[in-house]
Structure formats: structure tokens, C-alpha cells
Chain A
């Protein structure tokens, strides 16, 4: 290494760590602020737009499900599509490993986790691969190496480091990707995991989806640090600052950072500056009014990542016509409806499986407790 990764631009892409301002390729008006790499053809941008729009409408439909009382919890990621869809392109699904956090269903969709599985999990139906064990929105998808989500904030950071350490030990060319919100960076686990990854040169890509609010605490209430990515310096890894609403920027920076990690240089941190436009979750839909101003939300609505790609396509002379857009939306709504019906038709997991998967084998005390419940359940049925 002739250049220091902690200060100088990365040779292949010219992308610089530790910038003052978020790295950006496309401005809010949809006009490129620097040359777009050749890969971003109108066809490619249309594909990316479709994935983002699908995620947006998935969110919208699931909020409807919630209002209908067909599920109990949902944490939307509307506004964060460019961050999650962009990030997905740094990950080889089923090859690299992902320790995600609870707001990552758009990432899951982009990695190819079937919508049916996600909906099954949200509904806790019999078709849920996690067998109805977790509250809605806490997915796990083995095929895509999308590891199970715990609700404890930042709890996934040390294990992600461990998975990366295992990859290094096994000599694979896999990397681990670990995501979290801005609030998570205040937890001890975050620092412990970041520090260990640095010390162990673990191939782990850390991604902060900085949507600027941890429920009612904003970034300046969360930390006196001017931003998140500069903390990477303390752990001996490059930190990148990127406009999380610019999918081109997220893809380019994400790829640069992932390649750096993949090349065996150790971990890296990417901070995507974005915004969640909806409430934190349905549990505090109103609370939001108490901490965010209408102006702030309006301002960020103006930076909508989905709209930004539409403006860019228009600028490139390949606009998405309004009818085409409407058709795309209704197709997603139909898809969600179909998957909901399909998932609901599988019924609810049987109470008998409650005692399974606690241990590899059923110990005597769980056999006893299961027998007790069986007697109770069957007695009630008589």
C-alpha cells in the first residue's frame, strides 16, 4: 500500500474517505454533479428505480395491513430506499453474509429474499421460515445469508465481527456486511464490535443507515461527534460519508468500500446520510409530531430518492411515464395482496412447535412442559 486508506482517495474510483460533505453523484434536482460511471445506463437506472419503487409500495401496503389489524408491528423504511437498494449491490447474495437490523426489509427484498417469506414473517403465518417466533419485521433468510435480527439495538455488531473473523479463519473470499441506525452507534456493543473488527482486521463492512432520528433523539442529541463516519478513524478503518438518497453514490461508495474489505485490508465504515419520512414504527405514529417539525419532514420529502432517479431519467431523456409508473405501483400492490392471501392460507404455526428449536434436542423439562400444554389444549378442545 503506497497510499494511506485513512486519508487519500481510493485509486480505482477516486473515492475519498473522511470527506466533510457527503459524496454525491446526482443532485436533488436529478442533475449529475459529477460524471456518472458508464455502468449507469438508462436501462440500469430503470431497473434500480423499479426495485426502489417496489420497496416503497411494499411499505405502503404493509402499513395498510397494519391498519386492518392483520399484523401488529411495522417499521417502515420509506425514504431510505437508495441506501438499502444501493447497499445490496455491494453484497453477493448467498455468498457474503449480512447481519442486518430491523429496518432492513428493503435490503432483504433487494437481496432477493422472496416477498412471500417477508410477508409470512410479518404475519407470523405457518409459512414463516422463522416459525412465528419473532415479532413482525425480524426476518432471517438462510439462503441469502441474511442472519436473524434481534431487537436489541447494536447487538448484531459484535457477532458480525465474529462472522467476519470466521471467514478470515476459513480462508473464504466472503465478507460480512453489518447494518445499523445512527442511534446504534451510541451503544457499547457498537464500539466493542467496531474496535474488535479493527484489531482483528476482520473483513466486515459496517454501514450506518443514518436516518437522523433514533425515535425522538436526533443526531445532535445522540452524539457530540460531527458525524458518524469519522469515528471509524478511532478504530483504524476508513470511513466514508455518502448521500444516502443518491443511489449512484451509495452504489459507488459501497462497492469501493466492499472491495477494500474483500481485498483483505480489514473493515470499513460507510455512513449513508438519509431520512426516514414515516414514523419510527406504528407504535409511535403520533409521538413523531412531538419531535420533528413539519418543515423538516417536508424538506426531506423534497429529497426523495425514488423521485431523484425519476428526475435523472427524465434529464437523460428516458422518462418514466405516469401511466407506466401507475402500472408499476398497482403491480406491486397486487403482488402484496396475493402473497398476503397465500401466506394467510397457510394458517398459524401449531402450538406444538413452541418447544422446538430451543435446543438441538428436546430436553426432559421441555418434554414435560409440552405434555402439560398438550393436556390443557386437548382438554379445552373436548
Chain B
């Protein structure tokens, strides 16, 4: 897998809205938060002079020095664990795990330490930290650079789990994550790093963790996803609208907490839901969404809740693109729901 090494424009927000890509939004959020709060420190593998494999932290060590932006030994357990210990002592650590696929060695630190610190100490100690990590497929990364492990973390109370799909959300959600009082697992859909472009305001803002966004309004079907699949949802919705179907597109943006109310309202209006994610289907977070819809909006349903997910196989290298639930598979699931 290759990382593009364009230089990043990391000017802090000033006045006019600008169009940037998702990775620049991440860099800007980090830059502005580090400027705002000296407790924010950033570390991980190769994040310093190099700026991370995707260059998300490019220029930050030059701006803030090696005390605040530094490379660590190659150990996810140490990176996550150190973040916990720093947060307990009053810093605001932002740790980068090079790929979500490598969170495994840090898993116990995430679920046993970060997630439980507040609860198990009865609020005596807290661990407000952010773990940023590129996730998802579509970049020909094979199964160790393409996985979508978010459901593991949604299953652990105490963690917030976030995945933006636009530059606006990436910047606003990351700022909210850094300013929040809870540990946040922040998944960055790597195939959208440069593919997703959009406007961000020229002033400081945050996006509240736990609120979904309606990308387009519609009346016939609710098409719900998050992260890397969002552009495909838009394409599927375009295709369906060309056939006269009115599609409501929802981006969950955060999985824990997630915006159940918005989703249920939408499905009560449209009567149909299709849920899309690229993670393997078994124990996929969308199972929770489907369950909640049938529980809260059963009477409104005109068709079974549809689901498009990744296959229950390790992520394949050569078949990278066909593994992902692209617009065709999404459209087909919608048509099935519409024709039920």
C-alpha cells in the first residue's frame, strides 16, 4: 500500500470557509486543539518527523516540538497503555495506531483500562483519551490494512466509537473527542482520506458525538451507513432517484452513542430501511441498528430491514473492490425492500 506524500496546508482556521479533504481536516483539528490546550500530546509510530504513514500528523512536530509530538516504540499495548496513564495524570493524549488492524496488541489496554477507568474507580479516576486509527478497505491493503474492527469496540461500555465520512465531520468530531471527558476510538476511513472533499467553516466548531446526519431527505426508504461506504450510498441513492424513488440517506457518524431517535423517526416516515457497512456481517454493529428499528418502528415497516455488509471472510487482497458493498449491491438491497 502506498501513502501519498503531498504536503499539507495546516493553516489554522481564519474566517472564510474552505474546501479541504478529510485527512487535512484531521490535521487541522489536531493542530488547532494542540494550539488551544497544552495538555494535548500526540504520539504513535512514525507520527513525528514523518507525519504518520498517511501524513495525518504532518508538520505537527515541527510546530509543537518533540515533547508534544513524538514517536514511540513499536508497541500498541504501550501506546494505548501510556495514553491511559497520561490521561489519568491529567493530559489529553491523542494516540495514533498506524492501522486499525494493529489494535489487537493494544486491545486489552483499550477494553480493560481505558473503557473502565471511570466506572471501576467510582469516578475517582478518568481516562479522557483519543485513539485515532485508519480503518476500512478499498486501498488494496490486504487483510492487515483493510479491516473494519469497530464492532469489537462498540461492544465495550465506557468507550465512544466514532467514524466520520466528511471533512466537516472529521474535524468537528475529532475536536469534540479531544475536548470530551471519555475515551474515544476514532476510526478514519482511509479510502476517504483524500477522496472525501468538502467545506469546513473558517471558525472553531465541534460536532457532537452521538448525533447522526441526514445527507439527503427522502420518503420511500432510509439508507443508513457510516464511514467509507457513504459515497456509495450517495451513488445508490442517485441511481434510485433517477428511477423516481425518494431516498433518505443517513450517516450515523458515531456508533456509541448512536442516534437511535433520528434513525427510528426516519424509518417511521419511510417504512423501509437498508443498512450498509463494510465490516463482516456476523455481529456487525448494524445488527444493533436493525434490532432497534424492529423494536421501535415495527408497525411502520413495509419490508424487512435490509442489510449490506462485508462477507464473513478475512479481507481479501486481490478482490479488494468486489468485497466492498458498492453501489450495485446497495441498490439491489434497496430494490428488494421496495418490491417486497
Question: Do A130 and B120 contact each other (CB < 8 Å), given the known contacts A159-B81, A159-B82, A364-B257?
Answer: yes
Is the Cβ of A196 less than 8 Å from the Cβ of B82?
yes
User: CB-CB < 8 A to B171: which residues of A?
Assistant: none
Bound CA span A159–B239, Å = 51
Taking the complex as formed, is A227 at the interface, i.e. its CB lies under 8 A from any CB of chain B?
no
Is the Cβ of B182 less than 8 Å from the Cβ of A134?
no
Question: Do A155 and B91 contact each other (CB < 8 Å), given the known contacts A161-B85, A359-B182?
Answer: no
User: CB-CB < 8 A to A19: which residues of B?
Assistant: none
Interface bits B103-137 vs A (CB < 8 Å: 1, else 0): 00100110011001111111111100000000000
Taking the complex as formed, is B177 at the interface, i.e. its CB lies under 8 A from any CB of chain A?
no
Bound CA span A148–B119, Å = 10
User: CB-CB < 8 A to A159: which residues of B?
Assistant: 81-82, 84-85, 88, 109, 113
Q: How many residues of A contact B (CB 8 A)?
A: 49
Is the Cβ of A140 less than 8 Å from the Cβ of B120?
yes
Complex: chain B residue closest to A149, CB-CB? B120
Is the Cβ of A158 less than 8 Å from the Cβ of B257?
no
Is the Cβ of A158 less than 8 Å from the Cβ of B85?
yes
Of B70-78, B162-170, B308-316, B320-328, the one contacting chain A is B70-78
Is the Cβ of B91 less than 8 Å from the Cβ of A169?
yes
Bound CA span A291–B181, Å = 46
User: CB-CB < 8 A to B72: which residues of A?
Assistant: 196, 199-200
Question: Do A152 and B120 contact each other (CB < 8 Å), given the known contacts A161-B82, A161-B85, A358-B157?
Answer: no
Is the Cβ of A163 less than 8 Å from the Cβ of B85?
yes
Is the Cβ of B125 less than 8 Å from the Cβ of A147?
yes
Taking the complex as formed, is B261 at the interface, i.e. its CB lies under 8 A from any CB of chain A?
yes
B50-80 interface (Cβ within 8 A of A): 67-68, 72-73, 75, 77-78, 80
Taking the complex as formed, is B301 at the interface, i.e. its CB lies under 8 A from any CB of chain A?
no
Interface bits A117-156 vs B (CB < 8 Å: 1, else 0): 0000000000011110110001011100001101010011
User: CB-CB < 8 A to A259: which residues of B?
Assistant: none
Is the Cβ of B109 less than 8 Å from the Cβ of A359?
no
Taking the complex as formed, is B83 at the interface, i.e. its CB lies under 8 A from any CB of chain A?
yes
Bound CA span A97–B85, Å = 10
Is the Cβ of B75 less than 8 Å from the Cβ of A162?
no
Question: Do A163 and B75 contact each other (CB < 8 Å), given the known contacts A142-B124, A148-B121?
Answer: no
Bound CA span A70–B119, Å = 24
B181-239 interface (Cβ within 8 A of A): 181-182, 210
Bound CA span A147–B158, Å = 18
Is the Cβ of A155 less than 8 Å from the Cβ of B112?
yes
Give the 9 A-B CB pairs with smallest separation, nearest first: A158-B81, A162-B85, A162-B82, A360-B181, A159-B85, A131-B122, A166-B89, A163-B85, A148-B121
Q: A134-B120, A364-B260 are in contact. List 15 more A-B contacts (CB 8 A).
A: A130-B120, A138-B120, A140-B124, A158-B82, A163-B85, A169-B91, A188-B105, A189-B109, A199-B72, A200-B72, A357-B123, A360-B182, A364-B210, A364-B257, A365-B258
